[in-house]
Structure 1
Amino acid sequence: MTINKKNEIDAPKIGTKEATLVSALTGKGASITQLSELLGWQPHTIRAAFTRLRQRGYNIERLKAEGDASSMFRLKPAPVKRRRAKA
C-alpha cells in the first residue's frame, strides 16, 4: 500500500488480515478487544498494525469511551484506490 500521485491510498489486497482490519475500522469502528477477537492478534499487534496503516496514509481516529469501556477506533474517510479481485 502506498500513496499515489493523486493522494489516494491503495487498498489492501482482498482477503488479507490487513483488509479485514481496514474493513472493521470503516464506519462505526471497533475496539482493540473486538479487533483482537476478529483477527486472532494480541493487542500490541493491533497497535503495531495501526502504526503501519498510519505510515501508509490512513487516518485512524480514536473515539474516547465513556466510563470503563475501551476506546473505539475508526478510519476517517479518505480517497481510496480500489483493487479488483483477480478472477
Structure 2
Amino acid sequence: MTDQHTIDAPKDGTKEARLVDGLTGKGQTLKQLSALLTWQPHTVRAAMTRLRKRGYVIDRVAKTEKSAARFKLRGDKT
C-alpha cells in the first residue's frame, strides 16, 4: 500500500460510524461494543472484519486479571 491510501469512512450517524467511535481512544470490550450497538457479539466481530477490509487497523489489547480484552483503532491507514 502507498502512503496516499485513504479509507472510505462510514457515513455519519450509522451504527458503523458509532463502532468506529467506540474503537477510538482506549477502545472497548466486545461486550461493551455489543451493548453500544445493540448487536450480538458475532455481528460486532463481523463489522470489525468489514472495517479491516476497508483499511482500518484494529488492535486487540490482551485481557488482564482485572479486565477483559479490548479492541481499539490503531490509526487511519494500514
**TM-score under structure 1 normalisation?**
0.80
| 3-state SS, counterpart of residue 19 of structure 1 | helix
Bigger radius of gyration: 1
Structure 2 runs not aligned, ≥5 long? none
> How much identity, in percent, do the aligned residues show?
55
Runs (4+) of structure 1 moved beyond 2 Å?
A: none
Structure 1 runs not aligned, ≥5 long? 80-87
**Which residue is equivalent to 2:51?**
53
Aligned residue pairs total 75
Task: Within 5 Å, give how 1:1-87 maps onto structure 2.
Answer: 6-67=4-65, 69-79=67-77
- Tell me how far 1:57 sits from its aligned partner: 0.6
1:52 & 1:10 partners in 2: Cα distance? Answer: 11
CA RMSD of aligned residues (A): 1.5
| 3-state SS, counterpart of residue 57 of structure 1 | coil
1:21-74 deviation per Cα after TM superposition (whole angstroms, max 9, x unaligned): 001101110100000111000000011011101111110000001126320000
| 3-state SS, counterpart of residue 10 of structure 1 | coil
- Tell me how far 1:10 sits from its aligned partner: 2.0
